[in-house]
Structure 1
Amino acid sequence: MTAVIAPPALTVANHAAVRRPRMLRDTLTMAWRAMLHIRREPELATDAIFIPVLFTLFFTYLFGGALSGSPREYLRFLLPGTLVLTVLLITVTAGVSLNTDRARGTLDRFRSMPIWQPSVIVGGLIGDMARYVLATCLVLGMGLLMGYRPAGGAGGVALAVALILIFAFSVSWVWTALGLALRSAQAVTVISFAVQLPLTFASNVFVSPATLPGWLRTFVDVNPVSHLVTAERALMAGTWAASQVGWVLLASAALTAVFGPLTMRLYRAGQGGS
């Protein structure tokens, strides 16, 4: 009796089909993992809760009367800025979480699994978007309770939120690269604040650049955070600052194009500061 043997090419093809990672499934799985971390460890979301509440309340009532005559009047100028400030400050968690996973050996286990390897990073960033959305909702909710009424209505607010989320996603790639390159999560946090605090506070978040001295105004005018805040104010006011929105989208694409491949190269190499 003659045995029937499958053609070698067909066997290899079937094996490859079974082993081929499913990109969408793996990415969504990793995104769900990131969100489960927040549910199991609620303290991970404290920055997304307290920063929006603290900044919106604190700066509105501290500076509102002095700068605009009333807190409510100042809130119309301030809220799009605090939205940007809040979301950008919490993007560092992307790098901190990745650094922590590396220190625990979790990334080594992921590298040995038959999954689409970029899903470990991309899925984690998508999961972090839930924190950004939470912070955004808190800022907007606080603003509405304090009397903020966006002239652009729900449509303008939705476009503004979409724009800040796109930019935050691109900035997160910077911190994931640092999370793999630096030795500790503390180092990622320190460098993040050293970079972000000057960019956010030396911007048009709190005051109009026209009120600043010339040398500082020059920096504020070219500060990427200022461009983002200007775009947010325009969208929430119901106007379309096409040049500012286009600049933000271009900057987002550039950050992702540079730091996305760098992150994946560090991840595949398993360097992580070792």
Structure 2
Amino acid sequence: MTDTDVAPDTAAWRTPHGTSQSVSQNHLAGEVWMLLRRNIREALRSPVIAFIFPVLFPLFAETLVASSYARVSSLESFPIQPYTAYMAPGMMLLAGMMGSGYSATALVLDVQTGFLQRLRLLNVRPSAILLSRIIFDALRVLPAAVVVLLVGLALGARLESGPASVVGLLVMCSAWSVAYGGLFYIVALTTWNPQAPLAMSPLFILLMFTSTAAMPTSLQPGWLASLAHYNPFTYVTEGARALMTGPVTAHALLPAAAVLVVGIALTQGFVIPLFRRAVER
């Protein structure tokens, strides 16, 4: 990011006479909205990393991988048919995991290029800066999740719980994106290396294949089923699967909600003090 990229964003808080206006006079919501718009504009300049890349692997898995494992769903012990219907919920969540390093890297670059310092001179609340990033992360995943859902439906997946479940699925995808993305912020704000969050990208492979996203525990080897039992992604996936194919039960949704709430609380509990330290440097 260059100074020319930063200037239009800080100019949004200038008076008609060209003098800087104290942003502290604005409401927190106004600051968040202004920064969120800036984050979206910034992402649109790099659409491949921000929006296209997150949907590529989930679609690959949902089409080619699902077709390779299609016969597995014919087993009596397999819970859902066709296999695409079983795999689609996990792939929607996976879309939220892909590209998580983008926002964390962008935040480090904002610090290194002096953009955060400019915002501080304009009295922008640090909470508004971080909150705008979190909201952006929650929104960024939605287009990819919708595409994965539509492709899944075209390939045989179904919404047994009705159209209202789509809202629940999208909320779950957004929440999981924020919880999982917090890990990348922690690494970024600890190392101050913009490449470090991107180096963590393969983490999604480990979480995916040691969960029930691709195969139920009843068909997994004992050691892998044990790993899936302790994998938080398993519980979020089962909650999303319940919303999509039913039945919607507390047994499926409560563990998923607990993982999301605890995950967001834990990761943001580390991110907030690290970010505050960065702003005060």
| TM bracket, shorter-chain basis | 0.7 to 0.9
Instruction: Quote how far apart the aligned CAs of 1:18 are.
Output: 8.3
Aligned to 2:216: 208
Q: TM-score of the superposition, structure 2-length normalised?
A: 0.81
1:140-171 deviation per Cα after TM superposition (whole angstroms, max 9, x unaligned): 11112223222112112221221222222222
Task: Kindly indicate whether residue 204 of structure 2 is the aligned counterpart of residue 196 of structure 1.
Answer: yes
Q: TM-score of the superposition, structure 1-length normalised?
A: 0.83
Task: Kindly indicate whether residue 44 of structure 2 is the aligned counterpart of residue 39 of structure 1.
Answer: yes
CA distance in structure 1 between the partners assigned to 2:102 and 2:250 by the alignment: 31
Distance 1:121 1:208, change over 3 A: same
CA distance in structure 1 between the partners assigned to 2:42 and 2:185 by the alignment: 17
For the 8 Å contact 1:30–1:127, the answer to whether it is kept is no
Return 5+ residue gaps in structure 1 as ranges: 1-16
More deviation, 127-136/92-101:
92-101
Aligned to 1:174: 183
Match of 1:55 among 56, 61, 64: 61
For the 8 Å contact 1:167–1:249, the answer to whether it is kept is no
1:113-159 deviation per Cα after TM superposition (whole angstroms, max 9, x unaligned): 21121111110221233320011111011112223222112112221
CA distance in structure 2 between the partners assigned to 1:196 and 1:80 by the alignment: 15
Aligned to 1:4: none
Letter of the structure 1 residue corresponding to residue 52 of structure 2: T
User: What's the secondary structure of 1:148's corresponding residue?
Assistant: coil
Task: Kindly indicate whether residue 262 of structure 2 is the aligned counterpart of residue 257 of structure 1.
Answer: no
- Max Rg structure: 1
For 1:1-274, what aligned pairs fall within 5 Å after superposition?
A: 19-44=24-49, 45-65=51-71, 67-69=72-74, 73-193=82-202, 195-270=203-278
For the 8 Å contact 1:96–1:189, the answer to whether it is kept is yes
Distance 1:147 1:214, change over 3 A: closer
1:245-265 deviation per Cα after TM superposition (whole angstroms, max 9, x unaligned): 222222222233333243222
For the 8 Å contact 1:171–1:252, the answer to whether it is kept is no
Q: Please tell me the root mean square deviation across aligned C-alpha atoms, in Å.
A: 2.5
Letter of the structure 1 residue corresponding to residue 28 of structure 2: M
CA distance in structure 1 between the partners assigned to 2:182 and 2:110 by the alignment: 16
More deviation, 88-97/213-222:
88-97
1:172-196 deviation per Cα after TM superposition (whole angstroms, max 9, x unaligned): 2232222211232221122342x43
CA distance in structure 1 between the partners assigned to 2:97 and 2:251 by the alignment: 21
Paired positions, count: 254
For the 8 Å contact 2:87–2:214, the answer to whether it is kept is yes
User: More helix by proportion, 1 or 2?
Assistant: 1
1:197-238 deviation per Cα after TM superposition (whole angstroms, max 9, x unaligned): 211211111111111221221111221111111111111123
Instruction: Quote how far apart the aligned CAs of 1:47 are.
Output: 1.2
For the 8 Å contact 2:105–2:194, the answer to whether it is kept is yes
Distance 1:267 1:110, change over 3 A: farther
CA distance in structure 2 between the partners assigned to 1:210 and 1:19 by the alignment: 56
For the 8 Å contact 2:61–2:91, the answer to whether it is kept is yes
For the 8 Å contact 1:31–1:125, the answer to whether it is kept is no
Instruction: Quote how far apart the aligned CAs of 1:111 are.
Output: 2.8
User: What's the secondary structure of 1:54's corresponding residue?
Assistant: helix
For the 8 Å contact 2:212–2:237, the answer to whether it is kept is yes
Instruction: Quote how far apart the aligned CAs of 1:58 are.
Output: 2.1
CA distance in structure 1 between the partners assigned to 2:23 and 2:239 by the alignment: 47
